[in-house]
Amino acid sequence: MLGTCAACELEDVYCEGHHIIYKSQCKCMIPIKINIALLCVGCHRSSPNGVHHNKKLDLRLKKNLQFKLETMFIEKDYYTEDEIKYILKCSKDEVFNICKKLCFHIRGYDKDDLIMRMLGGRFYI
């Protein structure tokens, strides 16, 4: 698909979808749209500059995703499954898979726990 590369910012180039959080890091994030970055072939697959061989680029994309999630979940400290579904624009089953390992509080799921889960169990600094 033609688009703008999220890494080098080249416009109107052929781009491929890249999972920012890998399946091995958090399987439940694979179908979540915000977890996909469009990358040109050079930034996606080339060696040594492609994201799969370049830890700095991988970290930059993960930090960007973390910032987006923190921005999306900024209004409250706790969220219900319906609110998470609305914010992430995903299915009830996808939200269930994200939340099933989290502790449910009276007011909902803790925002920091939720974000950390979606980032594969860690925050990026």
Residue 50 lies in a domain: yes
Residue 37 lies in a domain: yes
Residue 34 lies in a domain: yes
Contact by Cβ (8 Å): 10, 65: no
Residue 20 lies in a domain: yes
Note the pTM of the prediction, 2 decimals: 0.93
Contact by Cβ (8 Å): 69, 123: no
Domain that holds residue 7: 2-118
In the chain, the number of structural domains is 1
SS3 for 79? strand
Residue pLDDT tens, the chain, 125 long = 899 999 999 999 999 999 999 999 999 999 999 999 999 999 998 888 899 999 999 999 999 999 999 999 999 999 999 999 999 999 999 999 999 999 999 999 999 999 999 999 999 98
Residue 123 lies in a domain: no
Residue 124 lies in a domain: no
